């Protein structure tokens, strides 16, 4: 299956304060059609530069970017016809136009007939809770409403590839959930491809099938979300136990990845394990003096933990 978006050894350097900054360093990845693809990284990692390169706003120093098989430099018009983007800030809409006028205008730019998109525009205004503000100039809307309108403009374009830079930033929980559901639907039912940059790990776990993590302009992970979770899968156990003898405390302190804390006459043991033999070792220490176990709870690593683990490894 041909990728709908492909980066191949893309490099980009900027000058900042008289110094050269390598924003992208041999960035390569492929996005298959009909998927929701996550692009993650800390601030300054190169996420926004990557998105701008994909929609022709940043010219790579070397390497290539293709959209639907069209090179973004050599076949610019054909490539950009397939892309709609929501970039950082409020520069995605016309402030003098109302939400309805913005949607009608940007749909017309894509060659969509007014009658054909009227129902879709009505639905998008309702989805984004903008129906009551449909005839209010965009400049008078709150920042959150402007963000929702920018996302609606990208959706109404009908473009097969959506590039969304922090699409849920500043949105309330209900609207964020509704937008996630809508993105899932257009990927599943319409076969549209969505590239999402986000700091919200709940969004990643909820909707992204595949993830690329970049740090300091370099790709440090490129895999399915589930594979990354399995790769760094370990279990955390929290135990609440009765009184511990000094020799037990000394023995527990020698176990790696174990934290021990006294709390009102009982002890809290927190243990992160990849090798379950460590858990049995803890239980053996407790059994030597028949220490009571008042509670035991297991926690699973979430994607935020995976993200921080990967970034930590990239520093070494």
Cα–Cα distance for residue pair 19/14, rounded to 1 Å = 8
Do 93 and 149 form a contact (C-beta atoms < 8 A)?
A: yes
Binned at pLDDT 50, 70 and 90, residue 309 comes out as: low
C-alpha span between 37 and 163 (Å, rounded): 10
Domain boundaries of the chain, sorted by first residue = 5-230, 234-300
Residue 307's closest CA among 198, 209, 217, 207? 198
Class of domain 5-230: alpha beta
In CATH, the architecture of 234-300 is 2-Layer Sandwich (3.30)
pLDDT on residue 17: 75
For residues 82, 169, 184, 55, the Cα torsion angle rounded to the nearest 10 degrees is: 10
For CA atoms 105, 109, 113, 118, the dihedral sign is negative
pLDDT in tens, 57-71: 999 999 999 999 999
The closest of 131, 164, 153 to 38, measured between CA atoms, is 164
User: Which pTM does this prediction carry?
Assistant: 0.74
Please write the tens of the pLDDT for every residue from 1-35: 789 999 999 999 998 777 888 999 999 999 999 99
Q: Is the pLDDT assigned to residue 187 strictly greater than 70?
A: yes
pLDDT tens figures, 264-302: 889 999 987 766 788 899 999 999 999 999 998 877 666
Mean pLDDT computed over 248-262: 91
pLDDT computed for residue 127 by the predictor: 87
Model pLDDT, residue 142: 87
Give me the pLDDT at residue 231, please. 64
Q: How far apart are CA 54 and CA 47, in angstroms?
A: 11
Rank 17-21, 57-61, 111-115, 164-168 by mean pLDDT and report only the highest. 57-61
For the cut 80, the answer to whether the pLDDT of residue 91 exceeds it is: no
């Amino acid at each position: 299956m041909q990728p709908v978006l492909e980066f191949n050894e893309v490099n980009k350097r900027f000058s900042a304060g008289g110094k050269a900054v390598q924003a992208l360093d041999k960035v390569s990845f492929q996005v298959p059609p009909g998927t929701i693809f996550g692009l993650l990284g800390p601030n300054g990692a190169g996420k926004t530069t990557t998105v701008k390169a994909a929609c022709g706003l940043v010219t790579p120093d070397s390497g290539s970017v293709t959209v639907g098989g069209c090179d973004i430099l050599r076949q610019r018009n054909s490539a950009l016809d397939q892309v709609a983007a929501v970039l950082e800030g409020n520069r995605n809409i016309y402030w003098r136009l109302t939400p309805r006028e913005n949607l009608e205008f940007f749909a017309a730019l894509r060659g969509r007939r007014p009658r054909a998109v009227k129902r879709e525009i009505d639905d998008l205004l309702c989805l984004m809770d903008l129906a009551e503000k449909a005839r209010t100039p965009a400049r008078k809307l709150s920042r959150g409403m402007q963000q929702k309108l920018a996302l609606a403009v990208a959706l109404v374009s009908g473009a097969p590839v959506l590039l969304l830079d922090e699409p849920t930033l500043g949105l309330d929980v209900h609207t964020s959930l509704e937008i996630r559901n809508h993105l899932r639907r257009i990927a599943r039912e319409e076969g549209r491809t969505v590239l999402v940059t986000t700091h919200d790990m709940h969004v990643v776990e909820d909707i992204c099938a595949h993830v690329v993590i970049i740090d300091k302009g370099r790709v440090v992970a490129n895999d399915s979300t589930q594979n990354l979770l399995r790769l760094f899968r370990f279990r955390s156990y929290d135990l609440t136990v009765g009184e511990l003898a000094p020799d037990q405390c000394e023995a527990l302190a020698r176990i790696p990845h174990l934290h021990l804390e006294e709390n009102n006459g009982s002890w809290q043991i927190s243990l992160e394990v990849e090798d379950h033999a460590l858990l049995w070792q803890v239980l053996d220490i407790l059994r030597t003096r028949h220490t009571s176990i008042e509670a035991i709870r297991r926690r699973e690593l979430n994607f935020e933990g995976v993200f921080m683990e990967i970034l930590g490894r990239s520093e070494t």
